[in-house]
Amino acid sequence: MTIASKVETALVHNMQPQPKIPEDEGYWTEDDPTYVIECKPQKSQIIESWHQQQNSEVSQASKSKNKFTLLQPTNKSTFCPLGNDYPKTAQQWLQKAHMPVSSENPELTLLLDLDSSSFVAFEFHYQLRAFLTTNTRFKDEDCISCFYKGDTIALFIAVDAQALKAVAQFQQRGHKVAIVTKGRYVFEDTAKLFASYGVELSRDTYFNRTDMHGLKKPKFIDEKLLAGNNCLLIDDKEKNRPINAFFSQIDFTHFPLKVIP
């Protein structure tokens, strides 16, 4: 389906009476009594699989180099960083992210936010068109589906094409990408969108508001994903800064990963 036909379909859908979407990341509020949780099956197993995969990779590196420890939870007093080849700062993480995985450059994991980081979503097409006239990094037009109060609604989005192409190059260099969002976008739509820019997403590393079970994003990253200094979160909100993983705050003009010609 072309972007034009997707937009036309979304326009027809949105001509039907739609609930007012609160201006909140994820399109719902906690005090909304009509909110319906959309559950993904066996998500606890997916998070456990994430831990096993992360720990297995670090354990294998530990055996070969005797430098690494397993990922540890959850606060500054107990957190044990990974070994000497891993970055010590966010700046070092970004430098290593622009280099291929090798014996000297370990595999890194990007924790990527969606809203106002990868794209900006709007309920109505005229809102998108007005936004696209402003000078931001979000220039491509597309559509995406989002769960809302037990239903699925179509949203119009402005996409940062250069950012997603940079993420694709990061992945092609042998690093990993995980989505960590407080939004409730349909995985299949998100995966298709990212694939159109060369990024492969896995459901096993796609974590949204439902998966967090009421936890704030930093707490989920630190205590459930057990992210360490092999991980960096790219997010537009300072309040989402985790303790144990690195963090890069972005805005409508800046994205820290760059496309390498």
DSSP state of 147: E
Q: Which residues are within 8 A (CB) of 63 and not within 5 positions of it... i.e. 6 or more apart?
A: none
**pTM for this model (two decimals):** 0.75
Look at residues 224, 181, 227 and name the one whose alpha carbon lies nearest to residue 54.
Answer: 227
Ordered domains of the chain (ranges, CATH): 3-10+85-249 (3.40.50.1000)
DSSP assigned state of 39: P
pLDDT in tens, the chain (261 residues): 565 556 555 554 554 444 334 334 443 333 333 333 333 444 555 566 665 565 555 444 443 333 222 233 333 333 445 666 899 999 999 999 999 999 999 999 999 999 999 999 999 999 999 999 998 999 999 999 999 888 999 999 999 999 999 999 999 999 999 999 999 999 999 999 999 999 999 999 999 999 999 999 999 999 999 999 999 999 999 999 999 999 999 999 999 999 999
